[in-house]
Chain A
């Protein structure tokens, strides 16, 4: 066990800080707390920022330069994610492309499809990921959107829902059923669908924040070239598992350091509102600190094994724990705002509504990407080895 990073890793962090100081636009520093404000298309600053990160090898540091990286080691990737989360910086306003689609194309795609990855990661192409359907949420394998083989192409009919970024996406990484006869996990495939194709209708849905970010997507006899099938036909379930794994390795860092930032904010808020001598407030903050700190240590403990190539069961806990903790912290923030806890009036809300907005964002965190209950099911059966229900 050791506490500090090597000189080489510290140098990596210094380079990163210098880069961020020089290039990061103020909008990117509004951070995740304000993601609930939604994005109405990709703003110019966000396009430019994502491209700058890519071009300097700071988008996905573990990748080679042509994919927006710099061959960073796993430890350096950890430092990178830590620094970004610590400063509250977002890399992109749409994470499907760089976090899910790019890595999945690289892992499962043919040569032509792999060639789409750089633009997905740089944000030049905006991707949405079509998994959930009205009757297939947690039970993703129940998805029913059909893709019928028409010789040269697939013809897709069906509906996706809660599809983030669909209102302005160029492409959809879409899970479809190619064999309706097979057992449900065995008849699924992935198609790359151009959102400009005839037969696609996108109906934006508002989040509870009022913002538009996700949508219902209707497919009515949409023709998709066969070349757009990713991997083998009927083998899409493997890709679901793969694409979620890409996301999970690093998400905990964002979760934990986001929580650390929130905690710093809570302490400042308590002081500003003169609550720092209140014994109840003090105890709640002390408890929150315990929660954040122990979770950070657990992340590092899990990561140490991960960096050496072993799969770490701790990671399965991290999504559950960080998303639940986030809700708790931002709710505490609303409490510390006192009577103004529920005020959204910009002239009266504390810190531009940071706490209620962060809380609303946090409420999505225990649903999207697999609900907390689904995470618990996974831990119960795969980590603890309990019998399946």
Chain B
């Protein structure tokens, strides 16, 4: 396994970092909490130019997502690139026109898949009227509703978001919005585009999105680590920088170790998915579990390193803490993925 980035990948990462830092400042992220429409401008002016990454190499998409996570970029990019685009791609020729509109950045979308239990699993698709954890359902153009079909197949309907009345389910995270969607009675009949795909294809999409969310969490964790290390070097107490206290040094080292492990695990999962090696299923679970744990760890201990200032609304740290925890639960928490790993290891 060679983790060296190619020149193109380095360029992609650097470009993404510069773009994210410049176009998605903390002020935008904060404004989004009160007025989600501010994310639309970010999408229209910048991120939609990158949405074709959703249909390309997962390594590239993960590198990009990590940078978005680092600035807590809100909006429709992730559901469109990580869920909607790959799902449309799985349908292939019949939806080629949708795919090209998505790739051109002129159509955003999200996927409504998990049922009442909130679990994203192609083996547990539902047929009922409720879909949960539908990301940015009120801001995208199209919602792809996935329903159980035969034991090996699933149905997908493309419904205009404007035809739905999604209900926002508030979470800790003010930078990402999740909805409950009631599936319209005529979703699969009333003239909406409908297609059928295998459950294997659906699972591939879920795994792809899982790696993307893990990559974002790595970006979140890295911001928390970098910010905490920098603060520890500046803040003086007892006549020395607090970063000279071993109690804090050890916390930061252990945080850093988790962040490095998670970074490596995400790249490994992305590479394995691109190469379609059998080990990829395990590696996806490892990546999300490692990233979820690293982000929570960095948030919890990062706040401790900051002391009182970290507990204020004014400091950006809590925005990251919120994303870290909500991000762990999204698409399966670390413990959920551990249990799934056990299933693969022990049957």
Contact = CB atoms under 8 A, between A and B. Distances in A.
A270 B346 CA distance: 9
A298 B339 CA distance: 23
A290 B337 contact: yes
A164 to B, nearest CB: 27
Interface centre among A267, A297, A320 (most CB of B within 10 A): A297
Contacts of A347: none
Given A294-B264, A294-B265, A308-B4, 5 more contacts: A267-B345, A282-B342, A282-B343, A287-B338, A388-B244
Nearest to B266: A297
Given A1-B6, A376-B250, A289 B1 contact: no
Interface string B306-347: 000000000000000000000000000011011111110111
Interface in A280-331: 282-283, 285-287, 289-290, 293-295, 297-298, 300-301, 304-305, 308, 314, 317, 320-321
Given A282-B342, A289-B341, A1 B3 contact: yes
A373 B338 CA distance: 29
Nearest to A303: B3
A376 B253 contact: yes
Contact of A286 (B5, B249, B342): B342
Contacts of A196: none
B283 interface: yes
A229 B101 CA distance: 74
A286 B340 contact: yes
Interface in A164-216: none
A290 to B, nearest CB: 5
26 contacts: A1-B4, A3-B2, A3-B275, A282-B342, A283-B335, A285-B341, A286-B285, A286-B289, A289-B282, A289-B341, A289-B342, A293-B268, A293-B283, A294-B265, A295-B261, A297-B1, A297-B267, A304-B3, A320-B257, A377-B249, A380-B246, A386-B232, A386-B241, A386-B252, A387-B233, A389-B246
Nearest to B250: A376
B83 interface: no
Contacts of B343: 282
Contacts of B275: 3-4
B265 A293 contact: yes
A287 B289 CA distance: 8
A385 B229 CA distance: 8
B95 interface: no
Contacts of A282: 339, 342-343, 346
Nearest to B255: A384
Interface residues of A, number: 43
A299 B240 CA distance: 35
A131 B111 CA distance: 62
A3 B240 CA distance: 46
> B interface, how many residues as a size bin?
35 or more
Interface of A: 1-4, 267, 270-271, 276, 279, 282-283, 285-287, 289-290, 293-295, 297-298, 300-301, 304-305, 308, 314, 317, 320-321, 373, 376-377, 379-381, 383-389
A285 B271 contact: no
B346 A267 contact: yes
B242 to A, nearest CB: 9
A1 B267 contact: yes
B55 to A, nearest CB: 19
Contacts of A289: 282, 286, 338, 341-342, 345
**Which of A3, A276, A283, A381 has the largest number of chain B CB atoms within 10 A?**
A3
Given A267-B345, A387-B233, A290 B285 contact: yes
Contacts of B249: 376-377, 380-381, 384, 386, 389
Contacts of B42: none
A304 B289 contact: no
Contacts of B257: 317, 320-321, 379
B285 A384 contact: no
Interface string B264-289: 11011011100101000011011101
Contacts of B252: 380, 384, 386
Which residue of A276, A301, A377 has the most chain B CB atoms within 10 A of its CB atom? Answer: A301
Contact of A290 (B243, B289, B346, B347): B289
A287 B265 CA distance: 14
A2 B345 contact: no
Nearest to B246: A389
A301 to B, nearest CB: 4
B267 A301 contact: yes
A293 B282 contact: yes
A283 B346 CA distance: 11
A293 B286 contact: yes
B267 A386 contact: no
B290 interface: yes
A154 B307 CA distance: 56
B261 A294 contact: yes
A301 B3 contact: yes
A383 B241 CA distance: 17
A320 B260 CA distance: 13
A294 B2 CA distance: 15
B53 interface: no
Contacts of B244: 386-389
Contacts of A387: 233, 240-241, 243-244
Given A286-B341, A305-B4, A380 B250 contact: yes
B15 interface: no
Contacts of B337: 286, 290
B253 A384 contact: yes
B159 to A, nearest CB: 37
Contacts of B345: 267, 285-286, 289
B78 interface: no
A1 B271 contact: yes
Nearest 4 CB-CB pairs, A to B? Answer: A286-B338, A282-B342, A297-B264, A380-B249
B331 to A, nearest CB: 16
B264 A300 contact: yes
Interface string B198-231: 0000000000000000000000000000000100
Nearest to A381: B249
A60 to B, nearest CB: 23
Contacts of A379: 253, 256-257
B157 interface: no
B262 interface: yes
A317 B265 CA distance: 15
